[in-house]
Amino acid sequence: MTKKINLPPRTPSYQSILRIQRFMKNPIPFMNRNLHKYGDTYCFSLRYNKVNIITVDPDIIQHFLRKNENNYKKSVANNEVLGHFVGKGLLLATGERHAAHRKLMAPGFRPKSIGQLINFMDEQIDRYFLEMDQRIEKNPELIIDQEFSDLTFRVMTRAIYGDDMNQHEIAAFSDRFQNLQKMMIKLVRIPRLLKFYQMTGQTKFYEQVAKENNAYLNQLIAARRKQPPKEDLLGMLMSCRYEDTNEGMSDDQLREETLTLFVAGHETAANSLSWIFYLLGKHPEVIQKILAEREEIIGDQVPVFSKLLQLDYLNRVIDECLRIYPPSWITDRIAMEDDHINGFDIPKGARVIPFIYGLHHSEKCWPEAEKFDPDRFTKAGRKDRHNFAHLPFGAGPRMCIGRHFATLEMKMIILKMLKRYRFSLVEDHKVELLPLVTLKPANGVKLRFE
């Protein structure tokens, strides 16, 4: 017997307006209440998409993202917006193009390949903390979010482009990218604004910024072609070859793919680090355990990749932080044909929405879900858990290809920052959820350095 997906009732228009305003600011409490009231999978309707299905059921999510993933495609609106400014790299590719590009790029993102970037990261993190020392001397209280945003951008730039950019060029590249990112965040949230902005001329400035960025990166890539191979990410991507033709990427493809890495990874990594240090500030005993493990396994040396893999407790802490505050808190797919899963009918054209934040806070998957407990990720803690209960980097064929890079980057920054600084949370500074494209801390995370 086919089950009926519960549909929340309509509300009077004046109440709807107030609810929509609150919903747009932070939809998570509304979604959680509906899950509690209507079950782990429920349906709602909007004018532009009549059937929207939200779920935190790991079996159903596994069906959407893995078992029958060919029937579910990324929505084209976001692709159009991002592609307009950064090109169509792996993040925006679909179907056979996505499969071919991912297979081409995969060798450069394997853990051992990413491990070769440690020295690039190490140098840039040290340089940044010297600058941060000066800011702390002037004011020991910092909103750490912007620091992590600047730091991760520099680390990513060095890891991707090696020493091709000096510090001045990195700063100029960062300014251009940050300008583009502000526009892209607005448009990804409301894709239909793109046409309005184009009609009113508001996109001209950003299109010019994108043009300047593309010209600069094309020049950088062309110069790299004339140099010996390097072991940064650009060098790894330049060495990749398509199986059927043995050809590599064009300069435009390399530009698009490296820019896509920033789009997918920069803000995500910065926000994740902000939440991690927010939780560490609430649980200082965890800091001591991380430092003890670091001392035992790494000592005072620059960590090599094999040693970083042995940091089991730090791995568990990161996993638990990403559970409580998943950077990609929600995703969606469009059903290409009618489908059926767990007794539910999914009509063609329906938007299916795995609500990852809700999944990560589901008491069915995570007893005492609001409690911070890294031991959930011990071998014994993982034993009987559903494979799709923890999705900080997505799942299936579209799982984030840069997850090993992001994890390595976070480990390096966490270890260096905990060794260098003592800090505490500023108690009267309120931190709330701000679910935009990624999950941000509203008002930022404010730390006092000692």
Percent helix, percent strand, percent coil in the chain, to nearest 5: 60, 10, 30
Q: What is the pLDDT of residues 49-70, one digit of tens each?
A: 678 899 999 999 999 999 999 9
Top-level class of domain 74-328+392-449 = mainly alpha
The yes-or-no verdict on residue 420 having pLDDT over 50 is yes
Q: Checking DSSP bridges between strand 72-73 and strand 432-435, what pairing results, if any?
A: unpaired
Q: Which two tokens stand for residue 4?
A: 């009926």
Question: With 0-12 CB in 10 A as exposed, 13-18 as middle and 19+ as buried, what is 239?
Answer: middle
Tell me whether strands 351-354 and 49-55 are parallel, antiparallel or unpaired.
Answer: parallel
Backbone phi, psi, residue 372, to 5°: -85, 115
For residues 81 and 185, give the distance between their C-alpha atoms in angstroms, rounded to a whole number: 10
Higher-pLDDT residue of 144, 1: 144
pLDDT digits 0-9 by tens, 202-251: 788 888 888 898 999 999 999 999 999 888 899 988 988 887 788 888 89
Q: Average of pLDDT values for 20-26? A: 57
- Per-residue pLDDT reduced to its tens digit, 327-375: 999 998 999 999 999 888 899 999 999 999 999 999 999 999 999 999 9
- Give the rounded percent of residues in the chain with a pLDDT score beyond 70: 89
Q: Which residues, other chains included, contact 393 with Cβ-Cβ below 8 Å and sequence gap of 6+? A: 328, 399, 400, 403, 406
Given a cut of 70, is residue 84 above it in pLDDT? no
Instruction: Indicate if the pLDDT at residue 39 is higher than 80.
Output: yes
CA distance 67 to 48: 28
Mean pLDDT of 282-291: 97
* 83 Cβ contact partners less than 8 Å away, ≥ 6 residues apart: 92
List the beta bridge partners of residue 433.
441
Helix spans in 13-73 (H): 13-25, 28-38, 58-62
- Per-residue pLDDT at 182: 76
pTM value is 0.89
> Residue 189 is encoded by which pair of tokens?
């949230």
